[in-house]
Amino acid sequence: MRIDVITLFPDLFEPFQRQGVVRRAYDSGAIELRLWQLRDFATGNYRRIDDRPFGGGPGMVMAAQPLTDALTAIKADRAEPEGQRAPVVVFSPQGESITHRQVSGFASANQGAILICGRYEGIDQRFIDRHVDQQWSLGDFVLSGGEIAAIAWLDAVARLLPGVLGDADSHGQDSFNPSLDGLLDCPHYTRPEVWEGVRVPEALLSGNHAAIAAYRRHESLVVTARSRPDLIEAARRSGSISPAEEGLLATVKSRPQT
């Protein structure tokens, strides 16, 4: 899938295309990443891409025209027919939070996107109103730019694409996945069996597949009930919690949310 990114810092993306398992997504062409330097579309004598905010206040605002010119160039290059255009996305604290559901829907639709990374105080609202289809947030905190959000999102999409993770099934066992009923993953252990006096849970050493699956489900329920009771509630609503599991959950106290 082709993904275009408008950014003032294209170099930030390079290492993430070369390292770790997601490198395969780029090497194989499963993700074709095109980076567009916004400065190449700067206008006027001073070739600026930002200016002072109307109404005063700190910082600078990214101007609408260079962004529009970059977007026009990308759309021409993608040459997609009307009605099949990839969504134009801005990363923003005002956007909807990125979730597993959103990422996996995107990975399976294989449609591509045009991503815009903000900097400074953000982007002239008129550009957003005119050209942007969706706004995505990495969480309730403020970054200095959209690049880290874009890289995080790309990593999450890439690992879901076929052939990227070594074991084809391994993301099925990850947190938030429907095959875990949207719960959090269980704890993991590796050798040695005893480390600093602490032994790996007996069930995991038993070689008994049913006992291992039961242990993992139990732990997954406990971990999720403690730290993300909202995910338990969602699993309950979709009918994924058995009466016996309800009995277990009644004994687990959730951690106060910070």
- The residues of the shown chain that bind ligand SAH, judged by CB under 6 A, are 91-94, 117-119, 121-123, 137-139, 141-143, 145-146, 149
Nearer to ligand SAH, 134 or 179 (CB): 134
Nearer to ligand SAH, 120 or 176 (CB): 120
Nearer to ligand SAH, 140 or 196 (CB): 140
With CA atoms as reference, report the closest residue to 62 among 86, 41, 88, 36. 41
Nearest distance in Å: CB 9, ligand SAH:
11
Whether residue 121 lies in the annotated active site: yes
Whether residue 119 lies in the annotated active site: no
CB atoms near residue 99 (< 10 Å): 13
Nearest distance in Å: CB 139, ligand SAH:
5
Q: Going along 98-159, which residue ranges are E strands?
A: 113-116, 134-137
Nearest distance in Å: CB 95, ligand SAH:
6
Whether residue 93 lies in the annotated active site: yes
Nearest distance in Å: CB 248, ligand SAH:
35
Q: If you ran DSSP here, which 8-state letter would residue 95 be given?
A: E
Nearer to ligand SAH, 70 or 180 (CB): 70
The H helix count followed by the E strand count for the chain is 10, 9
Nearest distance in Å: CB 115, ligand SAH:
10
Beta bridge partners of 78: none
Is residue 179 within 8 Å of residue 172, measured between CB atoms?
yes
Nearer to ligand SAH, 127 or 215 (CB): 127
With CB atoms as reference, the residue minimizing the distance to ligand SAH is 118
Enter the tokens of residue 57.
């206040």
Enter the tokens of residue 100.
């597993």
Query: Which of the following is catalytic: 4, 50, 159, 219?
Result: 159
CA distance 226 to 215: 17
CA distances from 174 to 67, 105, 125, 160, 186 (A): 37, 16, 37, 11, 9
Query: Which of the following is catalytic: 53, 93, 187, 229?
Result: 93
- Residues known to be catalytic: 93, 121, 159, 174
